[in-house]
């Protein structure tokens, strides 16, 4: 009887753990939302503009991720964030800050954010063969 109770308790603990993992994966605290995409003129690269907010009292984070066009965005299993290929990250107080993505050539991306009020937290100038230029400032 003691062995049966121990087996039942272990099964319940395993089931609770598995359900917790599934719930946290399906409902991450801070998931990203894709707002826009731009493909390079040669069709080799994709730039994706994303937005994240981790609660009502926290700022919005805007970020741009680059990847080969045939690859899908990779989301963190528990975080729900797409960090791979992130080249630009800005923290904003309000939703709706406009960011424009423009491929000027097949290997040159321009990121425009005229109303970004705060300094960008990340501004990479290269990602593999792609050169990135920025037009970020106050208006």
Residues 14 and 47 in one domain: no
Chain segment 6-45, per-residue pLDDT in tens: 888 888 888 887 776 666 555 556 667 888 999 999 999 9
Q: Please state whether the predicted TM-score (pTM) of the whole model is above 0.75.
A: no
- Once rounded to an integer, what is the mean pLDDT over residues 121-135? 91
Chain segment 53-89, per-residue pLDDT in tens: 776 777 788 889 999 999 988 766 555 677 788 999 8
| Domain range for 20 | 1-29
- What is the distance between the alpha carbons of residues 111 and 76, in angstroms, rounded to a whole number? 24
Please state the length of the chain. Answer: 139
Residues 103 and 55 in one domain: yes
Residues 55 and 79 in one domain: yes
Residues 36 and 14 in one domain: no
> Could you tell me the two tokens for 121?
């937290």
Residues 131 and 90 in one domain: yes
Q: Which residues contact 48 (CB under 8 A, 6 or more apart)?
A: 34, 36, 37, 64, 65, 66, 67, 73, 82
> In total, how many domains does the chain have?
2
Residues 59 and 24 in one domain: no
Residues 19 and 62 in one domain: no
- What is the distance between the alpha carbons of residues 127 and 107, in angstroms, rounded to a whole number? 10
Residue 127 CB neighbours (<10 A): 20
Look-up: residue for tokens 């800050």? 97
Model pLDDT, residue 139: 46
């Amino acid at each position: 009887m003691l062995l049966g109770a121990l087996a039942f308790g272990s099964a319940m603990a395993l089931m609770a753990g598995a359900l917790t993992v599934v719930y946290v994966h399906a409902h991450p605290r801070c998931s990203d939302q894709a707002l826009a995409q731009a493909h390079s003129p040669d069709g080799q690269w994709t730039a994706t503009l994303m937005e994240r907010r981790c609660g009502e009292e926290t700022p919005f984070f805007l970020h741009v991720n680059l990847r080969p066009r045939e690859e899908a965005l990779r989301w963190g299993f528990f975080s729900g964030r797409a960090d791979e290929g992130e080249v630009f990250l800005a923290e904003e107080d309000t939703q709706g800050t406009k960011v424009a993505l423009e491929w000027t050539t097949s290997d040159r991306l321009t990121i425009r954010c005229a109303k970004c009020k705060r300094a960008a937290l990340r501004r990479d100038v290269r990602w593999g063969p792609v050169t990135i230029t920025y037009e970020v400032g106050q208006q």
